[in-house]
């Protein structure tokens, strides 16, 4: 799924970086350009909510699009309360995904438009997954 998402995003001209785990992503977080994060909620070790919370605690609360293969209302509510742009259940329509990515990227260039939005320049368009 991760490779497919990278291919889809790159086909649309979005710069991407993919990570195999929440720990790997958090290890690189300090050096990442601002971007929209596609975050799987069911990760081994740290789950998506824990990764999202850690991003916020480090002051790197990029716009998040939460993705899951399992409907979980409590998880969706928690993720949205932490500022997720959207919560998508697999399988999802790619048009819906790219609408959410567009909203997330718009937040980066819109001071007050979302977490960590002020002063961030996403450049040509970026995505962290």
Residues 80-122 pLDDT 10s: 999 999 999 999 999 999 999 999 999 998 644 443 333 333 3
The CATH class given to the 2-128 domain equals alpha beta
Which long-range contacts (C-beta less than 8 Å, at least 24 apart) are formed by 84-90? 84/39, 84/52, 85/36, 85/114, 90/1
Token pair for 118: 């002020």
**Among 3, 8, 32, which residue's Cα sits nearest to residue 100?**
8
Tell me what the pLDDT averaged over the chain comes to: 86
Confidence (pLDDT) at 44 = 85
């Amino acid at each position: 799924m991760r490779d497919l998402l990278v291919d889809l995003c790159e086909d649309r001209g979005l710069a991407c970086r993919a990570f195999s785990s929440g720990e790997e992503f958090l290890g690189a977080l300090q050096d990442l350009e601002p971007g929209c994060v596609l975050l799987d909620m069911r990760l081994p070790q740290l789950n998506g909510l824990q990764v999202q919370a850690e991003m916020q605690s480090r002051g790197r609360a990029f716009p998040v699009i939460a993705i899951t293969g399992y409907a979980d209302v409590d998880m969706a509510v928690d993720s949205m309360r932490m500022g997720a742009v959207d919560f998508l259940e697999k399988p999802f329509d790619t048009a819906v995904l790219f609408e959410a990515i567009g909203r997330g990227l718009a937040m980066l260039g819109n001071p007050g438009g979302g977490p960590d939005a002020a002063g961030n320049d996403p450049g040509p368009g970026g995505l962290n997954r």
